[in-house]
A and B are shown apart, each in its own frame.
Chain A
Amino acid sequence: MSKGSLDAPAKPIQAHAHEVRSEDVVPLQVLSPEGEIVNPERLPDLTDDQLKEIMYRMVFTRTWDDRAVNLGRQGRLGFYAPVSGQEATMVGSEYALEKTDFICPGYRDMPQLVWHGLPLYQAFLYSRGHQHGGQIPEGVNVLMPQIIIGAQILHATGIAMGFKLKNEKRVVIAYTGDGGSSEGDFYEGLNFAGVYKLPAIYFVQNNRYAITTPYSKQTAAQSIAHKALAAGIRGVQVDGMDVLAVISAVKEAAEIARNGGGATLIEGLTYRFRPHSMSDDATKYRTKEEEAEWALKDPIVRFGKYLEAKGLWSEEDTARVKEEAKAAVAEHIKKAEQTEKMTVAGLIDSMFEQTPPDLERQKADFQ
C-alpha cells in the first residue's frame, strides 16, 4: 500500500458558476515600511499628542517584554507569552476603543489589558500564579487572560449580547491567534454574532505560527478574514505591523458595531519576534531568513519613521520611554513580589458566594 502525502498538490479544479468562490484580499495598509502614508483616506484622525501616546505605549510594551523575558529567566515571573513584534496589533487595537468597551483576551494579550486599565503589578501577579492577578479593578472592562483557546470568543459574544439587550452603545473585542481560528468555539462565536447582529470585534493576530505549527497546516483558507463569510459577518485583513492601519480598521469596526451594524472579524498579519513562550525554541521551526524579513517590518521602527518625519519623535524620546518603562517594571515587579501570600483557606472561600459546609470543614486542615 502506498503512503499518501498530506502535502499532495491539489488537482486542478474546474470552476463552475454555482461554486462559491472568493477573491484574494489585500491587507489594509496606511503606512509603508518606510513610514510613508500610502493610504491617506484611511489615516485615522489623531492629534499629535495622541500619535506620541501611541508610540509611547509601543516602545513601553517592547521594553516591558524585554524585561519580562529576563525576569522569567531569573524566576521572578512565571508563565509568560512574549509580545515583541505584535505591538501594532495590541496597542493599536486597544487604543481604537473606548474605556467603556470590553476586552476578552487570550493568554498573550496582557498589553491590551494593561493599557485598558489593569495595573502592571497585577499582570505580573497573573504571571506568577497569584489570584490577585485576576481581580480586575472595578471599572476596568476586561476579563482575565484566557488559557482555553477559543473560549474567550464565546464570552465576547455573550457580553456583546448583554450590551445589545441593555441597549448600550458599547463594543466587545476578543483576541485569538491564527491557530485559534481552527477551534469550534471560534466559528460558533462568530456565527452567533452574525445571527444576533452583535456589537463584537473578533481580532485574529495571525503571527503565522501556533507554537510550531505554521499557518499552512492550520487551514487551507486563503485568509483567516475569509472565515467571516461562513458566519455572515464582515471580514477585514489588515497589515498588523502598521499601527495606523490597525487603528483605522478597529475604529471602523467599532463604529459599525455601535450603530447596530453587527460584528467584524479582523485579521492582523503580524509576527512574534520571540518564541511562542519561554519554554519554546523557535529556531526549530523558523528560518533566520524569515525572521530577518519580518524584522524589516518592525511596527515600532515603521511608526517611528513616520513620527520623526513629522518632528514628533526622536531617538532621545525612545531612550527616555525605555528608561521610564524599565523603572515602572522594576517598581511593579517589586509590588508583585511584596503582595501578601495566598492561603488555601482564602482560595476555599473564593469558590462560592457562600462556602458549603463540607468545604468549610476542609478549611480546618489548612488553618
Chain B
Amino acid sequence: MAQMTMIEAIKDAMRVELKRDPNVVIFGEDVGHVGGVFRATEGLQAEFGEHRVFDTPLAESAIGGLAVGLGIQGFRPIAEIQFVGFIFEALDQMFVQAARMRYRSGGRYNAPIVFRTPFGGGVKAAELHTDSLEGLAIQTPGIKVVVPSNPYDAKGLLISAIRDNDPVFFMEHLNLYRAFREEVPEGEYTVPIGKAKVVREGKDVTIIAYGLMVHTALKAAAELEKNGVQAEVIDLRTLSPLDIDTIVESIKKTNRAIVVQEAQKSAGAAAEIIAQINENAILHLEAPVLRCAGPDTVYPFVQIEDVWLPTPARIVKTVNQVLEF
C-alpha cells in the first residue's frame, strides 16, 4: 500500500495496464515526453516507449478519430482531451463514432477506448477548462461516464475502464487531483463501473453526489449532524449506467433525498436521477427530491466561481427544504 494523490493513482492505473496489456496505448496533447499538463502520464513514455505513449498534433477531433481507428485494429486506446471544454471539437468521434461503433456494426467492431478528461471548478482556471459537461455524455447512448472522487476509486475505476470493451468517458476533477492522499493498493485491482457507494451512513435524508460534490456533501453532512440530522451520502462514481438500486435502497431508509451537482441546474445528471427516483421509489418519498446545482448560466468568471458552485451551506439549505416539506 502507498499513499497516493488522485493524479498519482490515475498514473499508476495506466502504468499497471500498459505493463499488463501490450495493446494499451496512450496519446494526446503533451502526454508523451513531458507527461501531460498535470503530469498524469509522467514517466510513462520513458518506461514504455514512444510507440505506447505519444504526443499528437493539437487537434481533438483527430485524437478521437485516431482512437476509433486504433480500436478497430485491436488496440486499447487511452485518449486524453487536455481540458473538458475542448471535447466539443471531438464530440463526433466520442459520442457518435465511438459510442455507436458496436451498434452500427452489429457487434462486428467495438470501441474499447477511454477518453480521459480533466474538468471541474474551484481552481481559478481559464475559460472552458472547468465546465461540467457530463450531462451531454449521459444522454448519449453507447458511452459510459465515470467520475471518481478519490484516489482509490480513481485507480480501480480507470483499470476497469481500460479493460471495458466499450467506450468510457473518464472525467477527472481538477480540484481533486492533489487535494489529499489516501492508501492505494499496489498493482492491479478494479472498482466496478456502474456501482455507486454509500460513503456516509444516515437515516434522515439521502444526499446523492459525484466528483468534488461528494466532499462538499460530506462537509454539509457534518454541519447537519450538529443539528441532529443524519444524512446518508452516496458517491455515484458512475453516472452512466446509473446505479439506481443503491439510490432506491437508501431512499427506502431515509424517505428524503437531494441531488448535488456542480453543473448548471437544467437537464443534467440530477434531472435524470430524480426522474429515475420517481419511477422507482415514489411511494417511499415524504418530500420531492430537490437539486442543489449551479444556476443556468455559462460557467462563471473565476472571480465568483466559489459562490456559483454549490457550497456546504447551500446543500444544508436544500436538505432543510426537503426535511421541512
Contact = CB atoms under 8 A, between A and B. Distances in A.
Contacts of B104: 131, 134, 144
B105 interface: yes
Nearest to B164: A353
B135 interface: no
Nearest to A146: B97
A160 B69 contact: yes
Nearest to A155: B69
Given A191-B59, A351-B102, A154 B64 contact: yes
A319 B73 CA distance: 42
B62 A192 contact: yes
Contacts of A38: none
A43 B294 CA distance: 67
B68 A165 contact: no
A357 B245 contact: yes
Interface stretch (A182-190, A218-226, A305-313): A182-190
Given A353-B165, A356-B241, A358-B242, A162 B102 contact: no
B228 interface: no
Contact of A351 (B56, B61, B142): B142
B65 A157 contact: yes
A350 interface: yes
Nearest to A164: B51
Contacts of B38: none
Contacts of B242: 358
A154 B70 contact: no
A158 B67 contact: yes
A350 B102 contact: yes
Interface string B229-259: 0000000000001101100000000000000
Chain A interface SS verdict (over half): helix
Nearest to B105: A134
A296 interface: no
Contacts of A148: 92, 96-97
B241 A357 contact: yes
A268 B68 CA distance: 27
Nearest to A148: B92
B108 interface: yes
Contacts of B102: 350-353
Contact of B66 (A134, A192, A353): A192
Interface in A110-135: 131-132, 134-135
Interface string A132-173: 101110100001100010010111111111110110000000
A353 B56 CA distance: 30
A347 interface: yes
B45 interface: no
B310 to A, nearest CB: 26
A229 interface: no
Chain A: interface size category: 35 or more
A344 interface: no
Contact of A188 (B65, B69, B110): B65
A151 B73 contact: no
A358 B196 CA distance: 14
Contact of A353 (B93, B110, B244): B110
Nearest to A167: B51
Contacts of B72: 143, 155, 158-159, 162
Most buried by B among A159, A185, A192, A352: A352
Contact of A157 (B62, B71, B108): B62
Given A144-B104, A351-B103, A352-B102, A151 B65 contact: yes
B232 to A, nearest CB: 21
Nearest to A350: B103
Interface in B162-211: 164-166, 194
B142 A352 contact: yes
Contacts of A352: 102, 142, 166
Contacts of B92: 148, 151, 185
A134 B104 CA distance: 6
B25 A165 contact: yes
Contact of B109 (A143, A157, A347): A143
Contacts of B166: 352-353
B65 A162 contact: no
A211 interface: no
Contacts of B93: 151, 154
Given A158-B68, A189-B62, A135 B103 contact: no
Interface in B100-116: 102-110
A135 B70 contact: no
22 contacts: A131-B104, A134-B104, A135-B105, A136-B109, A148-B96, A151-B96, A154-B69, A159-B73, A161-B66, A162-B75, A165-B25, A188-B57, A188-B62, A188-B65, A192-B66, A195-B57, A350-B106, A351-B103, A352-B102, A352-B166, A357-B241, A359-B241
Interface of B: 25, 51, 56-57, 59, 61-62, 64-75, 92-93, 96-97, 102-110, 141-142, 164-166, 194, 241-242, 244-245, 276
A-B pairs, top 8 by smallest CB distance, nearest first, are: A158-B69, A154-B65, A162-B73, A356-B241, A135-B106, A188-B62, A159-B69, A158-B66
